[in-house]
A = this chain, B = another copy of it.
Amino acid sequence: MDEKYKKDSLEQKYNIIKDNRYIMEEVIVPISKVLNLPIDEVVEIFVRKCDSATLYELHAYAEQARMGCLGRKVDIDLGLCWLSDFFGLISRKDADLIRKKVVESHILHKKPYKEALEEGRKLILQLLKE
């Protein structure tokens, strides 16, 4: 009986992930890519490490993560990490605004990442050439 319960619960957890296209596309696939790990193994990791409640909330976490982690990528891709945090050529406030603008352009307004980045780059150049 316990074994059956455990199996059902595992199956339920698999289904929570596999039935949610957003989780699959925005969480499982990207993690599978960076870790160079088959998609099924990534799903298994989440199933083993998270309880059902957490898996149900994965969608919300994923949206936060997408915004937050993209912000860090923008920092790297635009050199904001160097220009603002270490050399102080751009104020932290301006860096925050530029990062936010690029992230929103891409995620909320669906601009291709390269175009969104280009907008940010122009804002940086304006500030640096002031």
Given A45-B129, A69-B76, A87-B65, also A82-B35 (CB < 8 A): no
A24 to chain B, nearest CB (A): 14
* Cα(A31)–Cα(B87), bound, Å: 11
Tell me if B125 and A37 are in contact (CB < 8 A).
yes
Question: Which 7 A-B pairs have CB atoms at the shortest separation, nearest pair first?
Answer: A65-B86, A34-B79, A69-B81, A45-B128, A73-B76, A65-B82, A31-B79
Give the interface of A toward B (CB within 8 A): 27, 30-31, 34-37, 45-46, 49-50, 58, 61-62, 64-65, 68-69, 72-73, 75-79, 81-83, 85-87, 89, 121, 124-125, 128-129
Do A124 and B65 touch (CB < 8 A)?
Answer: no
